Every structure is written in C-alpha cells, then in structure tokens.
Amino acid sequence: MKLARFVLIGLLLGGCATAPLTNRTQFIMISSEQEMALGATEAQKVVQSSKLSGDKALQARIKRIGERIAAVSGRSDYVWEFNVIQDDTPNAFCLPGGKVFFYTGILKITENDDQIATVMGHEIAHALARHGAERMSMQSASNIGAQVLAAALNVPPEYRDLYAQAYGVTSQVGLILPYSRKFENEADQIGVYLMWKAGYNPAQALKFWENMEKLSSKGQKAPAFLSTHPADSERIKAIRDYIPLLPAQR
C-alpha cells in the first residue's frame, strides 16, 4: 500500500492548477502547449469529417458573437476559430486553443444573439478552464491507480483485467462523472460571466436552458448521478443564483 500512496501523492503534487474565476484547484498532468497542439489536430479532423454550413450570414453571425466573447476571455494566445457544422444534432463544443464548432441543430433552439452567446460562453469556458485536459489527467491517474492497487493488493495476474474493469467502473461513477458534472456547472458560471462581460444579457441564459429542459423532457435521459451533465432544473437554479452575484461594473 505504501507504493500506491507514493505514486498517488506524486501525481497530485505534479499536477496542480487553478480554474479561472472559480479558483478551484485542478489536477492536470498535461501541459498547455500539449493540449493546444491536440486541439489544433482534432480541429482539422473535425473540419475534414464534417459538413460545414454554406450559410455565409450564419457563419458571420457566429463569428461575430464568438469574437466578442473571445475578446473578454483573457486568452490572446489562443488562435480563435468559429465554425458552423450542418447537422441537426443540438450540440456545440470548443477545442483547446479556441477552435469553436456550432451545430445548426443547436441554433434552432437559440432564439436570439444572447442565447447564442450563452452557448458560446459555456463552450469557451470549458476550454479556458482546461476541462478536457483535467478529464484526461483524471482518467490517466485512474488507470495508473488501478494497476498500482492491483499490485499492492496482490491481485492474481489472471484476475487483474477483471479488477481493472471493476476499478474503472467505480472511478467512473464515483469520481470522473461527478467531476464532469462539476465541469458543466463551472462552465455555466464562467460562461455567464463571459457573456455578461461581453455585453450580452445573462438572463437569456436562463431562457436558453429552459428551452433545453423542454427539449430533453421529450426523450429519455440517464439518471442525474450517471450523467456527465447536471439535471436541467439544477443548472437553471444554479445560474439563477449566480446572476445576482455578477459585479456591478463590466
């Protein structure tokens, strides 16, 4: 057990970072340079494998809103790009380094520029807070932990694969999924701050997530404790509680 303790302590000491705005302590084993290089590579793959929208006006609208939020992000080192993918899936994401992709499906839910800014701020917040790198680091540490604990507990070699699978399930439900929900809540908070800082109406964030709640209520959803996203009602309450805490001055 001493070996397991030493390895885990070493991982924790070697990977401390701090999330923007919330100042939450993070465990990240990947350098910012590595993460941005991964983001650039993945962005190329997305562009090559997706059908980009040919709607010039829509592209210009997304770029305008994105650049306005990027301007208050504090990351002038990011090479910002804003793309629209022709796909009915209600989705959007921002890769490390500022590579933003909006699906036309989510734009059918957004009723105005403020609601687009809600989504834009949320996705950019994930990149600013380095949630992808944090999730990768946690998964790597989980895998290392499984191997170390199996050795420390003298698990017979023929059972180690089964043990690793069981450990993975435990860590997924007990650690990684709760942190994924924490990432979503954190991105909501940072995203609302960014849209407000950029001059958009944060009250429209509530309206957007209420629209999403109505949409999701039409289909089956995983239980909240097994979901990477918080329940819509929970995130709406959290955003409603956070808006009055925004500073008086932009």
Percent of the chain with pLDDT over 90: 46
Looking at residue 175, what is its pLDDT? 45
Cα separation of the two ends of the chain: 52
Which segment, 95-99, 158-162, 178-182, 222-226, is predicted with the most confidence on average?
A: 95-99
Residues near 97 by beta carbon (within 8 Å), at least 6 away in sequence: 35, 36, 39, 40, 43, 78, 79, 127
Per-residue pLDDT reduced to its tens digit, 155-180: 456 554 544 454 444 444 444 445 58
> In angstroms, rounded to a whole number, what is the distance separating the alpha carbons of residues 220 and 217?
7
Q: Exposed (0-12), middle (13-18) or buried (19+): which is 41, by Cβ within 10 Å?
A: exposed
User: 16-25, 40-49, 156-165, 233-242: lowest mean pLDDT where?
Assistant: 156-165
Average pLDDT over residues 113-127: 95
pLDDT tens sequence across 30-87: 788 888 888 899 899 999 999 999 999 999 999 999 999 999 999 999 999 999 999 9
Give the model's pLDDT for residue 179: 55
The per-residue pLDDT for 235 is: 87
* Domain residue extents for the chain: 2-245
In whole angstroms, give the CA distance from residue 198 to residue 212: 23
pLDDT over 60 at 243, yes or no: yes
Q: Report the candidate in 190, 198, 211, 205 with the shortest Cα–Cα distance to residue 119.
A: 205
> Is the CB of residue 59 less than 8 Å from the CB of residue 53?
yes
CA nearest to 15, candidates 27, 6, 4, 24: 27
User: What backbone torsions phi and psi does residue 5 show, to the nearest 5 degrees?
Assistant: -65, -45
Q: Give CA 218 to chain center in angstroms.
A: 24
Write down the mean pLDDT value for the chain: 80
pTM of the model: 0.78
Q: How far from 22 is each of 18, 58, 129, 193, CA to CA, in Å?
A: 8, 33, 9, 11
Catalytic pick among 35, 123, 134, 186:
123
Per-residue confidence (pLDDT) for residue 151, from 0 to 100: 55
Tell me the per-residue pLDDT of 42-55, one tens digit each, with 9 for 90 and over: 899 999 999 999 99
Q: pLDDT band for 153, please (50, 70, 90 cuts).
A: very low
Active site annotation includes 123: yes
> Where residue 183 falls among pLDDT bands split at 50, 70, 90?
confident
